[in-house]
Amino acid sequence: MPIRLGNNITSINAQRHLNANSADFTKRVERLSSGLRINRGADDAAGLSVSEGMRAEILGMRQGVRNAEQGTSLIQLAEGSLNEVNNMLRRMRELAVQSSNSTINDANREGLSAEFNQLAAEIDRIALSTTYNDQILLTGFGNTVAQDSQLSTALDGFSGVSEVGVSGAIPGVYQFEDLRADDNQITLSVTQPDGTILKQSIDLGTALDRDADRNLVATGTTIVANFDRLGVQITLIGAGVDADGTKLKSQAADGGAGGNIVIGNEVAAIPPGASLSDIAVQLDTVLSGMSPPGSARYEAALDEVQIETAGHLVNDMSDILGLVNANVFIDGRLDGKQIVIQPGTGGTLQVGPNETASNRIELSIGDMRASGPLLNLSGLSVANQESSRAAISRVDTAILAVTRQRGELGSVQNRLSYTMANLENAIENLSAAESAIRDADMAAEISSFTTSQILTQAATAMVAQANALPQTALQLLQ
């Protein structure tokens, strides 16, 4: 190989290898000192993108676990207060039973009435004072069912629905399909904001009795249609359960032989053979002019007259229409009805890392005040024997409402425990996946570090040797 002084190719070659070995040596030192294979985008652009997304998701899951723990604390606070409400309701029922006995007189009942009223006031106070982070829990927390029968038509008093409970239901308009009167099937559906339709069908099966050609809830009983996938529970009632209701319905095909229907002090004269639609118009004319006003309408789909008495006594003297209490569930009566669930304050537990509905749990607590629509204890009295007897069933209904609410809270609490366990498992597995992408293999890196260290030292020595090579040209000049 000729000796050249202009360019020391051997030195340049050694320097190139030294630079490469020095760069690799620096990379190995960085990975060993940080413990990471990927420290910047240049190390692995795709791997960095994937691992950063995993890191963000892991952090979201960890916060979801903390959110679920806080949600459990909120539920325990609410459930503890409702436990005391249950205790007071049992005492109120005891007082009503005691006051119903003829061995005491009205003077004796004054003391009972004082305690009864104080307990009702204490239920209201507890409902208003049960707070979590300045949020009142027992006056309506989370999504609630619109009680206006113009919105929630399933609560109009003619469909056989006495109560609607929500547990995790999203806000929206829920539509019923109940097309046939002999299949025991009810379908409920709601359209989500993104256009997705959630739908569930349930079969009430043997829960319904067979009467002639109809399937219906047995007299004096109730059943719960639980649309668990939607988070909605519907209480359906039989004849006699809503005996004090103000809604009546006809059972006749027409006016028959005719006669008089007395409403309060007014009389509606029904001609023989009058159609149900004409009778409805006639009754509505009378009822709408009374104070408070009532109403009557003909429901073509069910072929019946539906009457809102508004508390006025309706006396069908000749039993023209065969009037009975209207709020009784018969298969087919829910078709076309709806319930509206409105968004409320709080009630959403973000237990997942993303913004989709599947990463949230909806928590609902009804209005648990004594004066609220669920307990409905306003106006109750044990001041006399008759009112005391009426109070017993009302308090029983309130106890059932509180017990059901406590059960719903308990079910959500149990659900949260499984949610936390699932999140912790997912965190572990996702962390392992992220580690496989981003963390350095220490054994491999130490081996590569040793190789780079030796090569760097060797390349440094060779650069020195290559730089000394041109000095041989001096020997030619001697």
What span, in angstroms and rounded, lies between the C-alpha atoms of 190 and 407? 25
Helix axes 45-99, 106-129, angle to 10 degrees: 170
Contact 197, 191 (CB under 8 A): yes
Tracing tokens 């340049």 back to the chain, one arrives at 12
Tracing tokens 């095909």 back to the chain, one arrives at 253
Contact 451, 27 (CB under 8 A): no
Residue 325 φ then ψ, to 5°: -60, 135
Give the bridge partners for 298, in sequence order: 305
Quote the distance between the C-alpha of residue 199 and its chain's center: 15
Cα–Cα–Cα angle for 135, 137, 138, rounded to 5 degrees: 145
Residue 33's CB: how many other CB atoms inside 10 A?
A: 10
Give the bridge partners for 177, in sequence order: 187
Sequence-distant (≥ 6) Cβ neighbours of residue 407 within 8 angstroms:
none
Q: What is the pLDDT of residue 3?
A: 67
Q: What is the pLDDT of residue 373?
A: 80
Peptide bond into 292 cis (omega under 30): yes
* CA 391 to each of CA 113, 305, 398: distance values in angstroms, whole numbers, following the listed order: 12, 32, 10
Q: What is the pLDDT of residue 148?
A: 86
Contact 308, 246 (CB under 8 A): yes
Give the bridge partners for 296, in sequence order: 307
Token pair recorded at residue 385: 């024997």
Token pair recorded at residue 177: 């399909």
* CA distance from start to end of the chain: 21
Q: What is the pLDDT of residue 37?
A: 85
Question: Residue 453: CA atoms inside 13 Å, Cβ hemisphere, count?
Answer: 8
Q: What is the pLDDT of residue 423?
A: 95
Token pair recorded at residue 38: 């990927």
Sequence-distant (≥ 6) Cβ neighbours of residue 365 within 8 angstroms:
78, 137, 138, 140, 141, 142, 347, 405, 409
Token pair recorded at residue 105: 């007189």
82 in helix, strand or coil?
helix
Going residue by residue through the chain, which has 478 residues, state the pLDDT in tens, using 9 for 90 and above.
566 666 778 888 888 888 888 888 888 888 888 888 888 888 888 988 898 899 999 999 999 999 999 999 999 999 999 999 999 999 999 999 999 999 999 888 999 999 999 999 999 999 999 999 989 999 888 888 888 888 999 999 999 998 888 877 888 999 999 888 778 889 999 998 888 899 999 998 778 888 777 888 888 888 888 898 888 889 999 888 887 778 999 988 888 888 899 998 888 889 999 999 999 999 999 999 998 899 999 998 888 999 999 888 999 888 899 888 889 998 888 999 999 998 877 888 999 998 877 788 888 888 899 988 889 898 889 999 989 998 998 899 899 889 989 988 998 999 999 999 999 999 999 999 988 888 888 888 888 888 888 988 888 888 888 887 777 777 777 6
Q: What is the pLDDT of residue 416?
A: 95
Contact 417, 72 (CB under 8 A): yes
What span, in angstroms and rounded, lies between the C-alpha atoms of 136 and 142? 11
Contact 368, 84 (CB under 8 A): no
Token pair recorded at residue 386: 């008759």
